Amino acid sequence: MNAELTSTLDSRVLALADDELILAHRDSEWTGHAPMIEEDIALANIAQDELGHATLWYDILCDLRGQPDEHADQLVYFRDAADWRNAQLLELPIGDWAFTMLRQFLFDQFEWVLLPALAKSSHIAVAQAAAKVLREEIYHTRHSTAWVRRLGQGTAESHRRMQTALDVQWPLASQLFVPMLGDAALVAAGIWPDMAPLQQQWLAKVSEMLAECGLVAPATAATRISRHTHTEHLVNLLADMQSVARLDPQADW
Amino acid sequence: MTQATDITLKLAEFETRIARGEKIEPGDWMPDDYRKQLIRMISQHAHSEIVGMLPEGNYITRAPSLRRKMVLIAKVQDEGGHGQYLYHAAETLGISRDEMEQALLAGKAKYSSIFNYPTLNWADIGIIGWLVDGAAIKNQTMLAHCSYGPYSRAMVRICAEETFHQRQGKEMIVKYAQGTSNQRQMAQDALNRWWGPVLMMFGPHDSDSPNSEVLIRWGVKTQSNDTVRQLFLDEVVPELMAIGVQIPDPQLRFDAESKHWKHGPIDWAHFWQVVKGNGPMNKERLAARNQAHDNGAWVRDAVTAYASRK
């Protein structure tokens, strides 16, 4: 792989790792505070899976950069908001249970279209990681789909809360598919799939569920938010997440 | 046969079975007091697991490495699982999970007072794993031999997981005690605050524990509070000394005659204050549980409504 391809793949893998890490972090905030014990357990489980996936992608990044595995902790605990590449959708606070479940659903469906394509990557490590993650995503997808159905079709209140969540999240969800510099070369080399057709697949799948629940996606003009821009929620999240590690950068925790 | 002699005979048979080391199972005859004691103990234990998610959960967002974050989420998740499992064990005695949860939320049920203390630095997570879970393991190992089958089996399973919790907590503190000055200070500060409350986890001295005698005869408890506390002390004191942290008890000494570690006086007045609801975090813990429950009400309604239509 030439230097340009390596650098582009680096950006793509970093974006995916950051997506997983930030979502894991948000999901883990429910532990001990969920609407029922069963969901404390389920969401803690999903958070661990997403954290595991993030670690997997960070490890690939370490290899791409010729860095030891500890580099992953450096990336997570000593990087400022401006250098994170996660989608804004994932950094928003957890909100209510409807907000968390809808976000999880939109992201699970994103992975559900991305990972099978990524599992065919010509880059062996990427393909293997994608296949591994995909196996666990089956359970996440099942969980979040069941919740979108229950809440979307449960009571008038649960439906209203889902619609409110959708109004906030819908304009941000397309950022998951936003093009990144150098994509064309990665696609040509068979390393990363073309995101545009994946977005269409995602849209079809998600729209089907929204229709089943009588939820209406707000009409928004197509915006392309770069993965370089963030809300202040990420700054606050990082201030909290990195606080202990940054107390003593020399320490081995 | 009169009702009174019938009960006397049943009680004699029940006590004989326990003396033989048999387990009492859910459908078996048991004295009302036995049933009540077990409901009280198992539900308190379940509540402790659920409330116990809060102090450690407080640090999930701040765990300082990917590995620590993963381990901490898994540990707190385990506690939720233990709570769920123990509620089921209590349900075999004829009380519903809903009744138990309502009692907790209303502030009528007790849970282990140890969870009414705040977590103030990251090393608290290590101390909780090592000493709080360590103390719990000592109690639970004893309870694994208890006469009620479902509780005994729950304890065997839970102890196995708690052993992992204790190991990771100890690993943290051992590392921090030999780490940077910040880490050493954190570990010492955590030990200073948790040591006293940990010793109280085993309950009042035997001389002040009026229930113990019948509980031991019925195999609900198999060892006294002071016996279990001594086991714990003899295990952890040398381990803590070996890593160079200071145990905050100037009167702590090794008694050469009995070959046991002896602690200084325990502040029981403080213990009873915390039990009565006046500890540093009682109100916050209860408020957090109530908030989760109240915020979840519409979710549970939606689940019920959806299920009723399918």
Using pLDDT thresholds of 50, 70 and 90, give the confidence band for residue B5: confident
* B14 in any annotated domain: no
Number of domains in chain B: 1
Contacts of B305 in chain A (CB under 8 A): 154-155, 158
Q: What percent of chain A has pLDDT over 70?
A: 99
Using pLDDT thresholds of 50, 70 and 90, give the confidence band for residue B1: low
Question: What is the distance in angstroms between the Cα of A198 and the nearest Cα belonging to chain B?
Answer: 30
Average pLDDT on B197-222 reads 88
* A16 in any annotated domain: yes
Number of domains in chain A: 1
DSSP B202: T
Contacts of B296 in chain A (CB under 8 A): 34-36, 97
Tens digit of each residue's pLDDT (9 = 90 or more) over B55-78: 999 999 999 999 999 999 999 999
* B8 in any annotated domain: no
* B7 in any annotated domain: no
Q: How far apart are CA A133 and CA A114, in angstroms?
A: 11
Q: Which domain holds residue A150?
A: 3-246
B179–A252: do the CB atoms touch at under 8 Å? yes
Tens digit of each residue's pLDDT (9 = 90 or more) over B9-48: 999 999 999 999 999 999 999 999 999 999 999 999 999 9
What CATH number should be reported for the domain holding residue A65?
A: 1.20.1260.10
Question: What is the distance in angstroms between the Cα of A224 and the nearest Cα belonging to chain B?
Answer: 30
Asked if B169 and B126 count as a contact pair (C-beta separation under 8 A), the reply is yes
CB half-sphere exposure, A126, CA atoms < 13 A: 24
A205 touches chain B (CB under 8 A): no
B53–A31: do the CB atoms touch at under 8 Å? yes
Q: How far apart are CA B18 and CA B176, in angstroms?
A: 46
pLDDT for position B87: 98
DSSP B122: T
- Find the CB nearest B76 among A44, A149, A243: A44
Q: How far apart are CA A14 and CA A16, in angstroms?
A: 5
* A55 in any annotated domain: yes
A62 touches chain B (CB under 8 A): no
Residue B225 pLDDT more than 60?
yes
B178 touches chain A (CB under 8 A): no
* B4 in any annotated domain: no
pLDDT for position B213: 78
Asked if B160 and B167 count as a contact pair (C-beta separation under 8 A), the reply is no
Comparing alpha-carbon positions, the chain A residue that sits nearest to B309 is A154
pLDDT for position A81: 98
Residue B273 pLDDT more than 90?
yes
Partner B, chain A 137-166, Cβ-Cβ below 8 Å: 149-151, 153-155, 157-158, 161
* A103 in any annotated domain: yes
B90 touches chain A (CB under 8 A): no
Q: Which domain holds residue B29?
A: 19-309
Using pLDDT thresholds of 50, 70 and 90, give the confidence band for residue A146: very high
Test mutation, B43, B48, B69, chain A, max A CBs within 10 A = B69
pLDDT for position B2: 73
Test mutation, B298, B308, B310, chain A, max A CBs within 10 A = B298
* A253 in any annotated domain: no
* B9 in any annotated domain: no
pLDDT for position A1: 82
- The helix-helix angle for A195-212 and A97-118 (nearest 10°) equals 140
Contacts of A37 in chain B (CB under 8 A): 50, 80, 83-84, 87
Closest CA to A44 of A56, A30, A54: A30
A1 CB-contact burial (10 Å; exposed 0-12 / middle 13-18 / buried 19+): middle
pLDDT for position A246: 97
Q: How far apart are CA A89 and CA A170, in angstroms?
A: 9
Tens digit of each residue's pLDDT (9 = 90 or more) over A13-51: 999 999 999 999 999 999 999 999 999 999 999 999 999
B302–A151: do the CB atoms touch at under 8 Å? yes
* B71 in any annotated domain: yes
What is the pTM for the complete model shown? Answer: 0.96
pLDDT for position B217: 87
Residue B210 pLDDT more than 80?
no
Q: How far apart are CA B114 and CA A143, in angstroms?
A: 34
Contacts of B70 in chain A (CB under 8 A): 48, 51-52, 55
B66 touches chain A (CB under 8 A): yes
* A252 in any annotated domain: no
SS3 (DSSP) at B109: coil
Token pair of B300 as six digits: 């549970």
Task: Share the mean pLDDT of chain B.
Answer: 95
Tens digit of each residue's pLDDT (9 = 90 or more) over A147-205: 999 999 999 999 999 999 999 999 999 999 999 999 999 999 999 999 999 999 999 99
Tens digit of each residue's pLDDT (9 = 90 or more) over B140-195: 999 999 999 999 999 999 999 999 999 999 999 999 999 999 999 999 999 999 99
Task: Share the mean pLDDT of chain A.
Answer: 96
Contacts of A73 in chain B (CB under 8 A): 65-66
B80–A37: do the CB atoms touch at under 8 Å? yes
- Find the CB nearest B292 among A34, A47, A251: A34
Q: How far apart are CA B173 and CA B126, in angstroms?
A: 6
Closest CA to A121 of A2, A3, A9, A7: A9
**Which sign, positive or negative, has the C-alpha torsion B185, B79, B65, B134?**
positive
Amino acid, single-letter form, for residue A106: L
Strand-pair partners of B127: none
What CATH number should be reported for the domain holding residue B41?
A: 1.20.1260.10
CA torsion A89-A94-A97-A102 (nearest 10°) is 10
Residue B309 pLDDT more than 90?
no
A249 touches chain B (CB under 8 A): no
pLDDT for position A200: 97
**Between A and B, how many CB-CB pairs are < 8 A?**
135
Tens digit of each residue's pLDDT (9 = 90 or more) over A194-228: 999 999 999 999 999 999 999 999 988 667 899 99
B74–A54: do the CB atoms touch at under 8 Å? no
* A43 in any annotated domain: yes
pLDDT for position B200: 98
Test mutation, B43, B50, B54, B65, chain A, max A CBs within 10 A = B65
* B3 in any annotated domain: no
Average pLDDT on B296-309 reads 96
Contacts of B87 in chain A (CB under 8 A): 37
pLDDT for position B3: 76
* B33 in any annotated domain: yes
Question: What is the distance in angstroms between the Cα of A247 and the nearest Cα belonging to chain B?
Answer: 8
Average pLDDT on A112-139 reads 97
A222 touches chain B (CB under 8 A): no
Using pLDDT thresholds of 50, 70 and 90, give the confidence band for residue A68: very high
